[in-house]
Every structure is written in C-alpha cells, then in structure tokens.
Structure 1
C-alpha cells in the first residue's frame, strides 16, 4: 500500500535587509512556536535572518526538538523575496502541491506590501528595539482593517550558548492559530476605494507614512 505524504506548508520569516532582529529569530525557535507550527500542519520553517543573523540561526536550528520541522535559512536575496513568499502562498500545480502557509515579517512597508500583493496570510511583528513606535501603529492599523495579524514581542534578558540575547517573549504561537482564521477572511490588496471601503484611504495614508521602512 502506497503512503501519501502530506503537502509542504511553509512558514517564511523575514527580518528585512537593514536592521538586525535577533529577538524575532529567537522567538521563532522557541518550543511553543514549533509546537504551534506542527499543530497547524507546517512542514518547513524558512528564515531570512539578515546579514548578522547566520550564527544565531545555525545555533538555534541545530536543536534536536526541531526534527519535526525542516528548517532552512539565508541572509538576504538581492533579487527580492517574491520566490520565498510565493512558496509560503503554496501551489496546486500538478506534481508540486503545497498548502498555503504564512509570512511572518518585521514591520517594514516593503515586505508587508509584497506579502499583501501575493495574498498570503501575514503576521507583522514590530521591532521593540526601535526608538519610535511607528511600526506598532502600522501593525495595529493593518490588523484593525483585517489585513494582518499583529505579532508582539517583549524583551527579556537571557544567555544562550555563546551569546547574550534579549529573547523575544511573544504571542507568536497564538498568532499562528490566528493566521489560520485570517486565511478564511483575508481581504484583497489593494483595497477597493469605494463605498464602505473608502475607510481604506486611512490605511493607504499610514502606509505612505511608513515608506521609510522599505526593506
């Protein structure tokens, strides 16, 4: 009797091209987050860890408890992240079936817009190390209008192997479950600017203000 393998389902994590975001990488390797991925039938965790994150990624991904999830990582793709986001979107192509997954992104406008255009469920995680609160405002506005799930981290000092880190304690396990619900009701991007959708004009304004985070 032939066995049927389950479709690939990708969680793609991106921190962008400029600022480090070790807390997000760390949070994505916490046992409760891995359990949440497995519970939602994820098979792959793909991490864009940035120019300074390789050492941390390799140390975290070597953990034994991650064997249920295939982990891969890279620093950045100069051609853009469209291919990785489409992998998270999934495909029904013959001989290459994969289920729709999720993009878990820093709150950079460029990354957010790319994911919204592709139509993949998106969890937006503001970087709590930044001095201003614009990223949090953006994530809150996008969640309020039904486009994303707002992921949250808080900083907690901790020592891990050879590194002293500020670990991101997070709502990300719950955000994975919320993204499954978002998948069922996700709105199309760009928004329709007519009738009841005219309130999306406010969202466009917020995005314009945030275009400084274009990585």
Structure 2
C-alpha cells in the first residue's frame, strides 16, 4: 500500500495538516497511487479522525519516541522545513516534499529548502501551492543526499592543531 507520511516535528503546523487532508490534496495523492496517509501532527490543534478522508486510509498521532519507522515505511514524506526532519528523511533516502511555513518570522526554512532543492535533494512548496505541487511533482529528478563525513573534519582539525 503506497504510503505518504506527513510530519510537523515537535512544533504545530495546523495549516499543513488541514491542506494535506483537503479533498484536492487527497485526490492528487490518489491520482499518484497513494492509498495511505500517516500524519504526525505535533502540538497542533488538529488531530483528524480516521474517517475524515473518504476512501483513503488515514492515521494520525501527535508524538512518538521515534518516527524513523514511519519514514522507513513511507513512499513519500511531506515535512515541515525543520533541519532535523529534513536530514532524517534525506538520510533514510526517501523522496521529500518540504512545505514552508511562511507565517514564521525570520524564516530560515526557505533558505534550507531552497539550497537542498537546488542540489536536487528535495522538492518544496508552501501550503497554498501544495495541492498543485502534488499534482505536478516529478520525484524522478531527486538525487540521493550524501551524508556528512565527520572523519574528514576531525582529520583537518588534527592537522590544523598539530596533533597529527
């Protein structure tokens, strides 16, 4: 069963939950063959019931100790633009669509998403463009994200400090 996992992290992003469960977004997901939607709603005020998306399997929860299994089981992840969430999904090598919360002040999320998009690691949009992005996105353009190499940095520091 093709699954979409949506996460807002530890914050609240009711607008994302509301739009991703709207009839237009659900129809766009169905058209792409998705049948199951799993929502991690965080501290938000919305916790949609299982029957709120007719003919679509919907599950929703606030928090878990780890969402790694939800990410692993997903065929597509839709996430807020928090750096931790983005890196966890990219590290799991899952297709990622980031939704920018443009109601945040001093929004650094756009900078992160734009750079990772330029490098072809993810797609991004806002809540107002999510349904259209779901209709038109091409996940085949996404490139795997190479994890960091902390050993290289440690070696550099060792040399710079004369330890090696």
Q: TM-score, normalized by length of structure 2? A: 0.82
User: For residue 54 of structure 2, what is the aligned residue in structure 1?
Assistant: 67
Is 1:38 matched with 2:30? yes
Query: Structure 2 residue aligned with 1:13, among 6, 10, 17?
Result: 6
Q: Please give the secondary structure, in 1, of the residue aligned with 2:44.
A: coil
Distance 1:151 1:57 in 2: 23
TM-fit CA distance, 1:114? 0.9
Gaps of 5+ in 1: 1-7, 89-100, 154-169, 194-215
TM-fit CA distance, 1:42? 0.5
Structure 1 stretches of 4+ with a deviation exceeding 4 A read none
TM-fit CA distance, 1:119? 1.0
User: For residue 86 of structure 2, what is the aligned residue in structure 1?
Assistant: 112
Q: TM-score, normalized by length of structure 1? A: 0.64
Q: Please give the secondary structure, in 1, of the residue aligned with 2:48.
A: helix
- Give 1 or 2: higher strand fraction: 1
TM-fit CA distance, 1:51? 2.8
User: For residue 25 of structure 1, what is the aligned residue in structure 2?
Assistant: 17
Gaps of 5+ in 2: 150-164
TM-fit CA distance, 1:52? 3.5
User: For residue 85 of structure 1, what is the aligned residue in structure 2?
Assistant: 71
The total of aligned residue pairs comes to 149
TM-fit CA distance, 1:138? 1.2
Distance 1:108 1:192 in 2: 18
User: For residue 152 of structure 2, what is the aligned residue in structure 1?
Assistant: none
TM-fit CA distance, 1:192? 9.2
User: For residue 153 of structure 2, what is the aligned residue in structure 1?
Assistant: none
